[in-house]
């Protein structure tokens, strides 16, 4: 249970895609990173990125309002947020068919030009992520269709006739 003297305050949180597959990252406006711990009913509990290193700060979200409990005992993670944004930008550029067949160096240079304050180096891990983004884009059938555009599957001309479930007489 929370102690009576712990500080609680409402914080602004943005939800972005995490660095791992199917993960979400919750970034606060003041530069800290949180991950989902658990969800019980309509309450989502988040814990600090450096929880295993002893940071006692947590966030609870109820009805779209994020309330932070406790204080961080470490510096902000702004550089990590910027690095993750550049990596995500590299994946977007690599999967975009309009960008052509740019090499990994050109993709990283383009991503850094879009995020000038971030620092990233082209190493084997970044090259792998770019390659996986390209492969994923090649496998996916295309961009999702909007309601205004025709659907990807042609509609059948034949009307659907109901078929009796049981053919039996008594």
pLDDT tens per residue, range 10-46: 888 888 887 777 788 899 888 899 988 888 888 999 9
36-69, pLDDT tens digit by residue? 888 888 899 999 988 888 889 999 998 889 999 8
Which of 115, 45, 48 has its CA nearest to residue 87?
115
Q: Where are the domains of the chain?
A: 8-69, 78-139
pLDDT at residue 145, as a whole number? 47
Strands (E), the chain: 8-11, 13-17, 24-28, 33-40, 43-48, 58-62, 65-69
**Lookup: tokens for 154:** 């042609």
Confidence of residue 1 (pLDDT cuts 50, 70, 90): very low
Please check whether residue 115 is in contact with residue 85, taking contact to mean a CB–CB distance below 8 angstroms: yes
Please check whether residue 33 is in contact with residue 80, taking contact to mean a CB–CB distance below 8 angstroms: yes
Please check whether residue 86 is in contact with residue 118, taking contact to mean a CB–CB distance below 8 angstroms: yes
pLDDT at 113 over 70: yes
62-109, pLDDT tens digit by residue? 888 999 988 888 888 888 888 888 888 888 888 888 777 788 889 888
pTM across the whole model? 0.64
Please check whether residue 111 is in contact with residue 121, taking contact to mean a CB–CB distance below 8 angstroms: no
Q: Report the alpha-carbon distance of residue 89 to residue 95 in Å, rounded.
A: 10
């Amino acid at each position: 249970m929370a102690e009576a003297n712990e500080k609680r305050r409402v914080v602004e949180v943005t939800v972005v895609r995490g660095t791992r597959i199917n993960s979400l990252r919750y970034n606060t406006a003041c530069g800290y990173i949180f991950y989902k711990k658990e969800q019980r009913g309509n309450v989502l509990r988040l814990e600090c990125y450096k929880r295993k290193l002893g940071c006692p700060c947590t966030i609870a979200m109820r009805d779209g309002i994020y309330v932070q409990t406790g204080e961080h005992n470490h510096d902000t993670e702004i550089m990590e947020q910027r690095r993750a944004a550049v990596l995500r930008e590299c994946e977007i550029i690599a999967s975009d068919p309009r960008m052509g067949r740019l090499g990994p160096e050109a993709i990283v240079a383009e991503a850094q030009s879009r995020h000038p304050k971030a620092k990233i180096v082209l190493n084997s891990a970044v090259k792998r992520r770019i390659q996986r983004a390209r492969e994923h884009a090649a496998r996916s059938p295309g961009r999702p269709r909007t309601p205004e555009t025709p659907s990807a599957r042609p509609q059948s001309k034949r009307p659907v006739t109901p078929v009796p479930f049981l053919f039996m007489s008594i």
